[in-house]
């Protein structure tokens, strides 16, 4: 039962670990307070095993959080042959969104505010308004990407009004007071206005100004230009409040801050790191949504071997983790694991990336530059070598370079774009960044700024207080 006068916040997350992790972390931050009551809509079935495990872990860590199971309306995915399973889940959620109204209206205690994902904005905001409930959006990417999302509909409308050609893609986007995003750096789906994701993106962007606020996993020192432009209404007039409350901590660390962390299990990646020299290990991971072709995996393997550096590599060979049956020895080529034994560890297991990046042995992160990975590297003060892959990754990489998080390899491509990045080039760049004291110093400074932001009195700390104050004003 909620305490009298305590706001009840219902979280409506989307799918995919890149979207769910920020939700879990914000929920944990609020659940550790005693002035907010929380319920979480859990969409069933989950797409991946990782999603199911993390939901279970959240409710185990915070048993006072209400779990609200939500079953999707049957959806025939055959009308979108070959579509990404996570994009299909977003579409299934949108088609089931009419059921959120009764769910919100029937909750007890009364829901004061809804926090939803940007992928559901165009559907959830009208429902919340009809029920006279605040609707905030947890934006899971950077503030620069939020400015793009808000401005793209204006950009397209302006081109149409001026009689310019609209299509087949969005084209270069010059975001007022932020930056120009060339078409090659946009999420690839925006290159075709007829694609499912593009239509969703534009629909959601049109309703951003109707939200009551945006929670963003960033901090003022990392993205000062984009945050100021959004807050000052320079991107889109009358834009809602933007609460930069990052970098987020994991829900496990948030729920055990007063407890001593257990020793790493023998044979685990963390235990292996314990035996390595300080700042000597390259951590390699390319996210949980996209697999890497076998040809490119073998070039990465050759590069890591040629670099001479110690490395910890988390591999993904399928889009959905439940489908991953490949043997590492077959994927990486004959003899690779034997040749790097002792200085390299390769795993397909789920890892606590945030904890690994904070390990004193890790000296660099070779990453696809997904936003969770960027903010985790920033918080740890570990230089990130950005190899953007898909989605918002190239937009994120602009922040990696401008915010002092690391280095962006702008000419490196991925499967099907141009050509494979060779092992020789990968090895040379890994060696170069690992030895670059200036890059390391900038990343360390960014880590200090991240810590100051979330500390009591810091910019992110104050933003979270401001957000809770708005919830209480209902």
Instruction: State the DSSP code for 44.
Output: E
Residue 313 parent element (H or E): strand 310-314
Count helices and strands in the chain by DSSP H and E runs: 19, 15
Instruction: State the DSSP code for 229.
Output: H
Q: 150 Cβ partners below 8 Å, 6+ apart?
A: 205, 208, 209, 230, 235, 236, 239
Q: Which residues pair with 310 in a beta bridge?
A: 281
- Exposed (0-12), middle (13-18) or buried (19+): which is 111, by Cβ within 10 Å? buried
Q: Which residues pair with 384 in a beta bridge?
A: 365, 406
Instruction: State the DSSP code for 262.
Output: P
Q: Looking up tokens 């100051």, which residue turns up?
A: 452
Per annotation, catalytic residue among 8, 37, 84, 117:
117
Q: What share of the chain is helix, strand, coil (3-state, %, to 5)?
A: 45, 15, 40
Q: 143 Cβ partners below 8 Å, 6+ apart?
A: 216, 218, 223, 226, 227, 230, 242, 244
Q: Measuring CA to CA, which residue among 336, 352, 387 is closest to residue 264?
A: 352
Helix (H, G, I), strand (E, B), or coil: what is residue 392? coil
For this structure, is 53 an active site residue?
Answer: no
Token pair listed for 28: 């944990």
Helix (H, G, I), strand (E, B), or coil: what is residue 455? coil
Residue 342 contacts residue 334 (beta carbons within 8 Å): no
For this structure, is 84 an active site residue?
Answer: no
CA–CA dist 388, 409 (Å, integer): 8
Per annotation, catalytic residue among 8, 19, 359, 368:
19
Distances (CA, A) of 320 to 47, 258, 304, 350: 7, 35, 25, 12
Pairing assessment for the beta strands 242-244 and 213-216 based on DSSP bridges: parallel
- Length of the chain counted residue by residue: 474
Question: Which residues are designated catalytic?
Answer: 19, 117
């Amino acid at each position: 039962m909620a305490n009298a006068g305590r706001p009840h916040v219902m979280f409506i997350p989307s799918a995919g670990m890149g979207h769910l992790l920020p939700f879990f972390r914000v929920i944990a931050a609020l659940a550790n307070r005693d002035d907010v009551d929380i319920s979480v809509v859990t969409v069933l079935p989950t797409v991946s095993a990782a999603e199911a495990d993390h939901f279970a872990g959240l409710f185990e860590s915070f048993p006072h959080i209400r779990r609200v199971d939500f079953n999707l309306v049957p959806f025939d995915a055959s009308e979108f042959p070959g579509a990404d399973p996570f994009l299909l889940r977003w579409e299934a959620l949108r088609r089931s969104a009419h059921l959120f109204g009764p769910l919100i209206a029937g909750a007890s205690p009364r829901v004061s505010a809804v926090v939803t994902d940007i992928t559901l904005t165009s559907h959830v905001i009208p429902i919340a308004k009809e029920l006279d409930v605040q609707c905030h959006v947890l934006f899971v990417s950077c503030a620069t990407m939020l400015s793009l999302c808000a401005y793209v509909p204006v950009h397209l409308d302006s081109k149409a009004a001026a009689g310019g050609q609209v299509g087949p893609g969005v084209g270069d986007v010059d975001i007022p007071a932020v930056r120009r995003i060339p078409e090659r750096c946009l999420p690839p789906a925006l290159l075709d206005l007829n694609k499912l994701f593009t239509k969703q993106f534009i629909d959601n962007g049109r309703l951003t100004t109707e939200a009551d606020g945006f929670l963003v996993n960033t901090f003022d020192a990392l993205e000062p230009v984009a945050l100021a432009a959004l807050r000052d209404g320079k991107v889109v007039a009358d834009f809602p409040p933007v609460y930069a409350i990052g970098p987020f901590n994991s829900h496990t660390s948030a729920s055990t801050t007063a407890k001593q962390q257990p020793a790493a299990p023998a044979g685990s990646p963390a235990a292996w790191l314990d035996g390595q020299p300080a700042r000597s290990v390259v951590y390699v991971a390319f996210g949980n949504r996209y697999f890497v072709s076998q040809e490119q995996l073998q070039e990465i393997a050759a590069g890591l071997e040629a670099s001479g550096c110690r490395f910890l590599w988390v591999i993904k060979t399928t889009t959905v983790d439940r489908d991953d049956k490949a043997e590492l020895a077959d994927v990486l080529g004959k003899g690779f694991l034997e040749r790097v034994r002792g200085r390299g560890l390769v795993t397909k297991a789920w890892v606590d990336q945030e904890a690994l990046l904070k390990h004193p042995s890790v000296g660099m992160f070779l990453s696809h530059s997904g936003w969770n990975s960027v903010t985790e590297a920033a918080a740890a003060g570990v230089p990130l070598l950005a190899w953007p892959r898909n989605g918002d990754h190239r937009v994120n990489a602009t922040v990696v370079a401008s915010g002092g998080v690391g280095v962006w390899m702008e000419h490196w491509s991925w499967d099907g774009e141009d050509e494979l990045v060779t092992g020789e080039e990968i090895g040379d760049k890994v060696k170069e960044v690992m030895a670059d004291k200036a890059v390391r110093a900038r990343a360390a400074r960014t880590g200090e700024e991240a810590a100051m932001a979330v500390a009591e009195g810091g910019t992110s700390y104050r933003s979270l207080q401001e957000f809770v104050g708005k919830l209480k004003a209902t």
